[in-house]
């Protein structure tokens, strides 16, 4: 049996506005830029792809199934800038063929810095998904698929998740195949699904690459590769950014045609089907325990943390933002908390990455700043203003209690 | 391959980046085995010439030509033509210098009792800078006729007439190397005569080497040259071991104080007033910082006055022109090097700062901004952003650390050897064509 498990990551950060050391106003985010990017991507990707998926789900009478993780910060932006997108996700949710996963609401690296913040953000995300789409997530994916044994144990201990997603990196798998369900050590409930990065990246990265020897990639060819898994695997985990459709791979690359033909080509083989992650863990027993003592992620070729934590600026910015936790919790001010949490979104630290910066590559494409240095300066200026506000609020409340 | 090169200045007699560039390029060419005959419009003062070896001084009717050589450049021979040309002069300054020379000569001669109508020494100099440029050209032609070479290479406008003449007399191809244009030095108020000399030189040249795409664009748009004639060859930087400079007593600067450095000629081109305006904004925000302006130039007095008028006179230190060890020391003290140039064809100084582990902030209106990525960049007129970035470097130590680490690594890729190889390719091109 080969089951295809699609999972799409849907995320946009709250980008910061230009904020100098001389700025004093508590408005940190670039409304105009965020609105225009959100609407642009909605028109190029979210709306047309949601529509196509809905059509396919109806056409195949429930045999075609997918899953999403939509971050809280993007859902907030949908509310503000293009609420119709939420309705189209809701329409997908109502089909019963679409599963929504849980992650940290703010797409943050809180797992690495604050366990209480990590738990709070997951619960906040679950609450929002329940409210919007009427389902309670049973599968967890951490920001950028950052994962290790300890994360699995933490998630298992929350006793609400049946599975967790991670990167099927070579050094994690050794000679194992990503096409099975695995079990993290010391976890009775939570199962592990590993991304098949070769087949995932064929769609997400190589699809429009004319130098690639498999170019052009057609749905029938891709379905044949899936068929090969039959007999030596249970599930092909295709995990990718949702923006692959229409935004990273533009419409004229034929990505939508590919997607619209794929279910038919895959289902042609009687042993194939589509499953959502929680259906995968229900149907297949874990074959082995996979030990991942060191952190893996799905980023870059290194599959580690170096995209967010690779230089002194990134490490400093992260430490500084989490150092504010005490002050923020003390202040109990919802504006301060919201600003602080939006500053935790991993994208802010990704923009500060100096890896490959001289070569100008994918990091540059997604970067609203001219350089990682500009991004760090901007972030730190915002953070020091937030800190001032926290201190002012703390001294204000101290004055109140003493009076 | 043998090159007849015409320059303005050469270490140790330098007043700016041109001499450094000529030195680096010539040394690298020598290492590549290219023979260079370097003619310089500069009197050689023996007292400075410690690492220069004199060959054969020979007085000629056109002036004293002195041959000398650097020990470290085996394939280079220098021909000095006594002249008062110096690269960054303006006609008025030249005139003042000329007057001064005449006065001294008259005094010397009247003291000696010689009553000739004209002192013989004065014939070595012409009365205005433009005549002097042509006198230099004449001397260069005479030198060139005694030598054999494959190509003529002239650096910046004062040597273009000489290059043109030498090429015309010998029939060798002419390459002109544009390190700076009149538009960089003077903005829109160009000196028409200098512009004309530049334009004639560029049109006469078989090929033009520009130090950046910024300069290449100026050459194409302002001088009416077609793009296929202009090559970009970026400058390099000498990799010198640092850290051996003596400790400089931080006189007037507390040990807790941060130092922001401006190092260069204090002229309109270098944007000293933008530096001060940014300094003022930074000082409104933070206390423990000093701004050091190292260099001299025609805007120095104006700049000192401006600092005083802004009420930041006590926070801005002027050191005058620095040489050798003093440069090393000032780099060692600096937390940030700022080059706010209004129009900088290339800008070697930021590379030297990076070489000395000092992070840099450069204006986007500089050629060097095309090759450096691990630096801070700002529009020269955007003083608010300039101040923002200066303050950030001083406030957030990891920024300084990351810039320094990556910048020092990046600057190693900019080698004079590559520049020399690209020049050699240009030579081969023009030698085939002509």
- Calculated CA dihedral for residues A222, A224, A229, A234, nearest 10 degrees: 70
pLDDT value of residue B123: 45
Listed range (A234-238, B110-114, B189-193, B227-231) with the worst mean pLDDT = B110-114
Q: Model confidence at B114, in pLDDT bands (50, 70, 90)?
A: very low
Please check whether residues A262 and A312 belong to one and the same domain: no
- Strands (DSSP E) along B41-173, which ranges? 52-60, 63-70, 76-81, 151-155
Q: Give the residue numbers of A annotated as catalytic, written as ranges.
A: 144
Q: Model confidence at B129, in pLDDT bands (50, 70, 90)?
A: confident
What's the rounded Cα separation, in Å, for the pair A258 and A124?
36
What's the rounded Cα separation, in Å, for the pair A81 and A77?
6
Listed range (A83-87, A320-324, B69-73) with the worst mean pLDDT = B69-73
- Considering only alpha carbons, which residue of chain B is nearest residue A370? B377
Please check whether residues B429 and B347 belong to one and the same domain: no
pLDDT digits (tens, 9 = 90+) for A36-76: 999 999 999 999 999 999 999 999 998 999 999 999 999 99
pLDDT value of residue B85: 66
Range of the domain at B303: 258-411
Please check whether residues B222 and B338 belong to one and the same domain: no
> Per the domain annotation, does A332 fall within a domain?
yes
* Contact flag B395-A21 (C-beta cutoff 8 Å): yes
Highest average pLDDT, of A152-156, A329-333, B123-127, comes from A152-156
CA distances from B392 to A240, A378, B380, B385 (A): 37, 9, 17, 10
Instruction: Please tell me the distance in Å from B165's CA to the nearest CA on chain A.
Output: 44
Please check whether residues B85 and B117 belong to one and the same domain: yes
- Considering only alpha carbons, which residue of chain A is nearest residue B387? A21
Q: Model confidence at B243, in pLDDT bands (50, 70, 90)?
A: very low
> Which tokens sit at B366?
């500089």
Please check whether residues A353 and A391 belong to one and the same domain: yes
* Contact flag B376-A21 (C-beta cutoff 8 Å): no
Query: Cis peptide leading into B12, omega within 30 of 0?
Result: yes
pLDDT value of residue B142: 86
Instruction: Give the total number of structural domains in chain A.
Output: 2
Helix (H) or strand (E) holding A349: helix A347-350
pLDDT value of residue B128: 74
Instruction: Please tell me the distance in Å from B278's CA to the nearest CA on chain A.
Output: 12
The mean of the pLDDT values for chain A is 93
What's the rounded Cα separation, in Å, for the pair A162 and A285?
12
List, in sequence order, every residue forming a beta bridge with B53; answer none if it has no partner. B69
Please check whether residues B311 and B427 belong to one and the same domain: no
Domain holding B363: CATH number?
Answer: 3.40.50.2000
pLDDT value of residue B244: 43
Please check whether residues B25 and B114 belong to one and the same domain: yes
Please check whether residues A318 and A276 belong to one and the same domain: no
Q: Model confidence at B135, in pLDDT bands (50, 70, 90)?
A: confident
pLDDT value of residue B173: 96
pLDDT value of residue B49: 41
Question: Which of B354, B395, B401, B402 is best to mutate for the A interface (most A CBs within 10 A)?
Answer: B402
* Contact flag B384-A22 (C-beta cutoff 8 Å): yes
pLDDT value of residue B101: 66
What's the rounded Cα separation, in Å, for the pair A20 and B68?
55
Q: Judge whether residue B119 has pLDDT over 70.
A: no
Please check whether residues B168 and B75 belong to one and the same domain: yes
CB B208, CB B226: distance < 8 Å: no
pLDDT digits (tens, 9 = 90+) for A250-276: 999 999 999 999 999 999 999 999 999
Q: Which residues in chain A are closer than 8 Å to B289, comparing Cβ atoms?
A: none
> Which tokens sit at A360?
């100008």
> Per the domain annotation, does B29 fall within a domain?
yes
> Which tokens sit at A52?
């196509």
Of the candidates A344, A345, A343, A374, the one whose C-alpha atom is nearest the C-alpha of residue A357 is A374
- Residue keyed to tokens 């369900």: A181
> Per the domain annotation, does B251 fall within a domain?
no
pLDDT digits (tens, 9 = 90+) for B32-78: 999 998 888 755 444 444 444 444 444 454 445 556 666 677 788 87
CB B422, CB B31: distance < 8 Å: no
pLDDT value of residue B115: 42
Ramachandran sector of residue B296 (left: φ over 0; alpha: ψ -120 to 50; beta: rest) = beta
Q: 3-state class of A290 per DSSP? A: coil
> Per the domain annotation, does A341 fall within a domain?
yes
CB B389, CB B377: distance < 8 Å: no
- Considering only alpha carbons, which residue of chain A is nearest residue B375? A373
Determine the angle formed by the axes of helices B213-223 and B192-204, rounding to 10 degrees: 100
CB A361, CB A377: distance < 8 Å: no
pLDDT value of residue B146: 86
Please check whether residues A271 and A386 belong to one and the same domain: no
Please check whether residues B116 and B163 belong to one and the same domain: yes
pLDDT value of residue B102: 64
pLDDT value of residue B12: 62
Please check whether residues A206 and A58 belong to one and the same domain: yes
Domain holding A193: CATH number?
Answer: 3.20.110.20
CB B44, CB B68: distance < 8 Å: yes
* Contact flag B396-A377 (C-beta cutoff 8 Å): yes
pLDDT digits (tens, 9 = 90+) for B163-187: 999 999 999 999 999 999 999 988 8
Residues 6+ apart with CB under 8 A from A249: A204, A207, A208, A255
- Residue keyed to tokens 């230009």: A18
What's the rounded Cα separation, in Å, for the pair A341 and B424?
58
pLDDT digits (tens, 9 = 90+) for A343-399: 999 999 999 998 876 655 666 667 889 899 999 999 999 999 999 999 998 887 766
Query: Cis peptide leading into A216, omega within 30 of 0?
Result: yes
Q: Judge whether residue B17 has pLDDT over 90.
A: no
pLDDT value of residue A360: 53
pLDDT value of residue B42: 58
- Residue keyed to tokens 């390190």: B179
Q: Which residues in chain A are closer than 8 Å to B403, comparing Cβ atoms?
A: 373
Please check whether residues B224 and B287 belong to one and the same domain: no
Please check whether residues B126 and B215 belong to one and the same domain: yes
| Predicted complex ipTM | 0.88
> Per the domain annotation, does A264 fall within a domain?
yes
Angle, CA of A117, A121 and A125, to the nearest 5°:
175
- Domain end point (choices A235, A251, A283): A283
User: Which 380-419 residues of chain B touch chain A by CB within 8 A?
Assistant: 384-385, 387-389, 391-392, 395-396, 398-399, 401-403, 405-406, 410
pLDDT value of residue B138: 87
What's the rounded Cα separation, in Å, for the pair A62 and A55?
11
Q: Which residues in chain A are closer than 8 Å to B402, comparing Cβ atoms?
A: 311-313, 354, 373, 376
Please check whether residues B426 and B401 belong to one and the same domain: no
Please check whether residues B287 and B208 belong to one and the same domain: no
Listed range (B55-64, B217-226, B262-271, B408-417) with the worst mean pLDDT = B55-64
Question: Which of A16, A19, A21 is best to mutate for the B interface (most B CBs within 10 A)?
Answer: A21
CB A138, CB A278: distance < 8 Å: yes
> Per the domain annotation, does B318 fall within a domain?
yes
Print burial letters for B85-102: b (CB count within 10 Å at least 16), e (below 16): bbbbbeeeebeebbeebe
Q: Judge whether residue A110 has pLDDT over 80.
A: yes
CA distances from A303 to A146, A166, A194, A294, B19 (A): 9, 11, 13, 11, 48
Please check whether residues B83 and B35 belong to one and the same domain: yes
Please check whether residues A339 and A231 belong to one and the same domain: no
> Per the domain annotation, does B165 fall within a domain?
yes
Helix (H) or strand (E) holding B143: helix B129-145
- In total, chain A counts a number of residues equal to 403
Q: Model confidence at A230, in pLDDT bands (50, 70, 90)?
A: confident
- Considering only alpha carbons, which residue of chain A is nearest residue B393? A377
> Per the domain annotation, does B382 fall within a domain?
yes
Q: Which residues in chain A are closer than 8 Å to B401, comparing Cβ atoms?
A: 312
The mean of the pLDDT values for chain B is 83
Mean pLDDT for A315-319 is 97
Mean pLDDT for A164-176 is 92
What's the rounded Cα separation, in Å, for the pair A105 and A140?
12
pLDDT value of residue B247: 45
Secondary structure (DSSP) of B340-382? --SSBS--SHHHHHHHTT--EEEESSBGGGGT--SSEEE-TT-
> Per the domain annotation, does B272 fall within a domain?
yes
Mean pLDDT for B411-421 is 93
CA A290 to chain centroid: 22
List, in sequence order, every residue forming a beta bridge with B318; answer none if it has no partner. B293
Q: Model confidence at B109, in pLDDT bands (50, 70, 90)?
A: low
> Which tokens sit at B428?
């081969």
% of chain B with per-residue pLDDT over 90: 55
* Contact flag B403-A373 (C-beta cutoff 8 Å): yes
% of chain B with per-residue pLDDT over 70: 77
CB A2, CB A230: distance < 8 Å: yes
Give the single-character DSSP code of A183.
B
Range of the domain at A165: 2-283
> Which tokens sit at A377?
């300066």
CB B27, CB B73: distance < 8 Å: yes
Instruction: Give the total number of structural domains in chain B.
Output: 2
């Amino acid at each position: 049996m080969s089951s295809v498990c699609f999972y799409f990551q849907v995320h946009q950060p709250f980008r910061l506005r230009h904020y100098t050391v001389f700025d004093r106003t508590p408005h940190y985010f670039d409304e105009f830029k965020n609105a225009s990017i959100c609407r642009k991507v909605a028109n190029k990707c979210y709306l047309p792809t949601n529509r196509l998926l809905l059509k396919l789900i109806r056409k195949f009478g429930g045999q075609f199934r997918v899953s999403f993780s939509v971050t809280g910060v993007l859902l907030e932006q949908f509310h503000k800038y293009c609420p119709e997108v939420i309705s189209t996700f809701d329409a997908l949710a109502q089909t019963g063929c679409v599963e929504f996963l849980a992650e940290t609401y703010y797409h943050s690296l809180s797992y690495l810095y604050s366990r209480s913040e990590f738990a709070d953000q997951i619960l906040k995300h679950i609450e929002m998904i329940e409210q919007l789409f009427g389902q309670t997530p049973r599968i967890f994916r951490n920001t950028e698929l950052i994962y290790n044994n300890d994360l699995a144990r933490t998630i298992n201990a929350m006793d609400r998740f049946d599975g967790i997603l991670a990167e099927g990196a070579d050094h994690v798998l050794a000679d194992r195949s990503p096409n099975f369900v695995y079990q993290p050590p010391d976890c009775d409930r939570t199962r592990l699904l590993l991304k098949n990065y070769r087949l995932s990246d064929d769609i997400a990265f190589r699809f429009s690459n004319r130098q690639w020897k498999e170019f052009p990639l057609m749905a029938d060819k891709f379905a044949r590769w899936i068929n090969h898994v039959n007999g030596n695997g249970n599930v092909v985990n295709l995990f990718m950014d949702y923006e692959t459709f229409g935004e990273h791979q533009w419409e004229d690359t034929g990505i939508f045609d590919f997607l619209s033909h794929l279910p038919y080509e895959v289902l042609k083989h009687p042993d194939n089907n589509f499953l959502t992650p929680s259906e995968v863990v229900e149907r297949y027993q874990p074959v082995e325990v996979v030990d991942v003592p060191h952190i893996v992620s799905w980023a870059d070729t290194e599959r580690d943390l170096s995209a967010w934590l690779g230089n002194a600026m990134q490490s400093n910015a992260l430490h500084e933002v989490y150092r504010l936790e005490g002050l923020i919790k003390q202040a109990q001010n919802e504006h301060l908390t919201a600003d602080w949490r939006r500053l935790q979104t991993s994208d802010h630290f990704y923009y500060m990455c100096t890896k490959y910066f001289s070569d100008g590559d994918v990091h540059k494409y997604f970067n609203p700043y001219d350089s990682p240095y500009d991004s760090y300066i901007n972030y730190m200026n915002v953070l020091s203003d937030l800190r001032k506000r926290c201190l002012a609020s703390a001294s204000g409340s101290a004055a109140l209690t003493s009076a | 391959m043998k090159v007849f090169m015409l320059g303005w200045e050469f270490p140790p007699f330098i007043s700016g980046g041109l001499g450094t560039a000529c030195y680096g390029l010539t040394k690298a060419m020598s290492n590549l085995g290219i023979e260079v005959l370097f003619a310089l419009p500069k009197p050689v003062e023996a007292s400075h010439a410690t690492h220069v070896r004199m060959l054969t001084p020979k007085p000629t009717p056109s002036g004293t030509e002195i041959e000398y050589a650097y020990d470290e450049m085996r394939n280079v021979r220098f021909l000095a033509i006594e002249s008062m040309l110096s690269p960054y002069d303006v006609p008025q300054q030249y005139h003042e210098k000329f007057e001064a020379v005449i006065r001294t000569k008259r005094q010397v001669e009247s003291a000696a009792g010689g009553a000739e109508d004209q002192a013989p020494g004065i014939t070595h100099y012409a009365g205005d800078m433009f005549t002097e440029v042509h006198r230099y050209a004449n001397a260069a032609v005479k030198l060139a006729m005694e030598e054999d070479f494959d190509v003529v290479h002239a650096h910046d406008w004062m040597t273009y007439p000489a290059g043109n003449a030498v090429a015309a007399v010998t029939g060798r191809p002419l390459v002109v190397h544009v390190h700076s244009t009149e538009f960089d030095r003077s903005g829109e108020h160009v000196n028409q005569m200098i512009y004309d000399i530049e334009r004639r030189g560029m049109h006469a040249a078989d090929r033009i080497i520009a130090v950046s795409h910024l300069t290449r664009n100026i050459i194409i748009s302002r001088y009416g040259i077609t793009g296929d004639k202009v090559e970009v060859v970026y400058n390099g930087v000498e990799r010198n071991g640092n850290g051996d400079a003596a400790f400089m007593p931080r006189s007037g600067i507390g040990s807790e104080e941060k130092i922001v450095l401006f190092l260069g000629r204090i002229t309109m081109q270098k944007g000293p007033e933008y530096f001060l305006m940014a300094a003022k904004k930074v000082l409104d925000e933070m206390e423990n910082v000093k701004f050091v302006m190292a260099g001299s130039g025609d805007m120095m007095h104006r700049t000192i006055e401006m600092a005083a008028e802004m009420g930041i006179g006590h926070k801005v230190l002027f050191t005058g022109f620095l040489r050798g060890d003093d440069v090393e020391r000032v780099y060692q003290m600096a937390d940030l090097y700022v080059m706010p140039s209004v129009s900088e064809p290339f800008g070697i100084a930021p590379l030297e700062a990076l070489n000395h582990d000092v992070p840099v902030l450069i204006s986007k209106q500089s050629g060097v901004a095309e090759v450096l990525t691990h630096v801070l960049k700002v529009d020269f007129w955007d003083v608010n952003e300039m101040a923002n970035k200066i303050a950030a470097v001083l406030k957030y130590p990891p920024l300084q650390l990351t810039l320094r680490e990556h910048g020092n690594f990046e600057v190693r890729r900019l080698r004079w050897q590559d520049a020399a190889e690209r020049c050699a390719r240009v030579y081969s091109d023009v030698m085939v064509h002509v």
